[in-house]
Amino acid sequence: MAAMTSGTARVERQISLPFKQAFRIALRNITIRVGRAMITGAGTMLGIAFLMSVFASNLMLTARGVEPSPAQAQKAAWLVAMSLLVSFVGITNSMLMSVTERYKEIGTFKCLGALDNFIVKMFLIESGLLGFFGSLIGSIVGLLFVIVTNLGFVGAFNWALALLYMLACIVLGTLLSVGAALPPAIRAAKMQAVDAMRTEV
């Protein structure tokens, strides 16, 4: 009789969650909570828009034939640092919120057989998507802003370099977003199922 086999032989290990399924759930979470997602994404968007506009206006100075003075270059670097800080704080805050308000859900996921890494995976995909689209829109907005305010000099504008900056902004925004979501996601995933469900937010 099979029931007589003793020990852990009859327990298998939980398999990993396929990326496609995790992606579907994460996408679902975003599309359903559009308002919430917009707020989270807006944090990234604003920061990246700021950053991109700083890059683009530097390019625009070159297009105008103005060689930035050391003081101006320093100011630009300061602005870049500030905008990075703004996005980082904004993203971390909204990610923290969106994880904590879902503790109960996370507990339920665990009761249904989710491994810790399923939960981390789902949150990272979600934040990655938000970060990607947020920074995509943000970099477009930032670039457009500079172009619209300097329409006369667009002819000499270095589009290739601008595109490269845009790409850098999107990668950076996505990475920041995922990086900011990682600590709260891991903390949530490590919670005992019972504790997570008991948490009232």
Partner 1 sequence: MSSIATAEVQNGAATTPAVSNADDYRASEHIVRVRGVKRVYKIGEVQVHALRGIDLDIKRGEFMAIMGPSGSGKSTLFNMVGGLDKPSDGTVFIDEVDIAQLDAGELAWLRCRKIGYIFQTFNLIPVMTALENVTLPMIFAGAGVDEQMEKGKRLLETVGLGDRLHNKPGQLSGGQQQRVAIARALANDPAIILADEPTGNLDQKVGEEIIQMLKRLNKESGVTIITATHDDKMYKRADRVSIVIDGEIQAVVPPEQLGDNTVDGFLAQLKEEKDAAAIRDLETAAEVTATNAAITGEG
Binding region for partner 1 (CB under 8 A): 1, 3-4, 6-8, 10-15, 17-18, 21, 28-29, 32-33, 104-105, 107-116, 118, 192-194, 197
Q: Which is nearer to partner 1, 75 or 198 (CB)?
A: 198
CB atoms within 10 A of CB 43: 26
Q: What are phi and psi of 15, to 5 degrees?
A: -80, 165
* Rounded least distance, CB 134 to partner 1, Å: 20
Please name which of 49, 25, 23 lies closest in space to residue 146, comparing C-alpha atoms.
49
* Rounded least distance, CB 188 to partner 1, Å: 15
* Rounded least distance, CB 191 to partner 1, Å: 12
The answer to whether the CB of 21 falls within 8 A of the CB of 112 is no
Helical axes 159-190 vs 103-111, angle rounded to 10°? 70
* Rounded least distance, CB 196 to partner 1, Å: 10
* Rounded least distance, CB 42 to partner 1, Å: 20
Sequence-distant (6+) residues with CB within 8 A of 16 are 115, 117, 118
Q: Which is nearer to partner 1, 94 or 139 (CB)?
A: 94
Length of the chain: 201
* Rounded least distance, CB 22 to partner 1, Å: 9
Q: Which is nearer to partner 1, 76 or 197 (CB)?
A: 197
Tell me which residue has tokens 């870049």: 80
Q: Which is nearer to partner 1, 32 or 163 (CB)?
A: 32
* CA 57 – CA 145 distance, rounded (Å): 9
Q: What are phi and psi of 123, to 5 degrees?
A: -70, -35
Please name which of 75, 73, 57 lies closest in space to residue 162, comparing C-alpha atoms.
57
Q: Which is nearer to partner 1, 101 or 164 (CB)?
A: 101
Q: Which is nearer to partner 1, 122 or 136 (CB)?
A: 122
